[in-house]
């Protein structure tokens, strides 16, 4: 693979790094927000880049966004690789947005490990692309299509599990 071309593969999920499934992002540009980034004098949660650009920070959407970013190991027919999966694709696996999952996980603290169990062994057709930025280490999943007909997104399986 050279340049920024992408490959489509069939693979099985081996494990998900469930300790870090979501992150806080600037509501404007979606850059990662550090927890301590907003100073007390600044109630808006836009990042320092957006803050300096705009004199009128968005009022209604002033809270940070929570987005998915997950690292997972997948097995192809020849090798095991670690890939990173961002919000749009992660929603396919989870069946909900990051905020919804985060709130669910607050009520059910074992949701992380459970998600790992739920998704382990699921087969997907994934399209992977090489990171465009030099500092990104992992191949990025640009699309994931479940191969199993009865595939249930993680949040559905979790809700069923907790209903028992």
Helical ranges in the chain per DSSP H: 48-53, 87-94, 98-107, 111-119, 154-163
CB of 67 to Zn ion, least distance (A): 13
Q: Which is nearer to Zn ion, 26 or 126 (CB)?
A: 26
Contact 131, 140 (CB under 8 A): yes
CB of 35 to Zn ion, least distance (A): 15
Chain residues that interact with Zn ion, rule: CB under 5 A: 26, 28-29, 31, 47, 49-50
CA 49 to the chain's CA centroid? 23
Q: Which is nearer to Zn ion, 47 or 96 (CB)?
A: 47
CB of 90 to Zn ion, least distance (A): 20
Q: Which is nearer to Zn ion, 28 or 119 (CB)?
A: 28
CB of 46 to Zn ion, least distance (A): 5
Q: Which is nearer to Zn ion, 50 or 81 (CB)?
A: 50
Contact 48, 54 (CB under 8 A): no
When computed from its CA atoms, the radius of gyration of the chain, rounded to whole angstroms, is: 18
Residue 107, φ and ψ in degrees, nearest 5:
-80, -30
């Amino acid at each position: 693979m050279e340049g920024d071309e992408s490959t489509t593969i069939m693979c099985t999920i081996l494990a998900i790094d469930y300790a870090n499934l979501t992150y806080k992002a600037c509501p404007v540009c979606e850059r990662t927000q550090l927890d301590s980034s907003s100073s007390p004098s600044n109630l808006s949660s836009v990042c320092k880049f957006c803050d300096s650009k705009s004199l009128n920070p968005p009022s209604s959407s002033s809270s940070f966004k929570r987005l998915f970013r997950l690292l997972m190991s997948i097995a192809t027919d020849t090798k095991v690789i670690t890939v990173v999966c961002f919000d749009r694709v992660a929603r396919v696996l989870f069946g909900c947005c990051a905020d919804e999952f985060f709130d669910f996980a607050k009520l059910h603290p074992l949701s992380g490990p459970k998600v790992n169990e739920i998704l382990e062994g699921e087969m997907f057709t994934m399209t992977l692309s090489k990171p465009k930025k030099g500092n990104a280490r992992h191949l990025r999943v640009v699309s994931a299509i479940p191969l199993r007909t009865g595939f249930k997104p993680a949040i559905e399986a979790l809700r069923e599990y907790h209903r028992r």
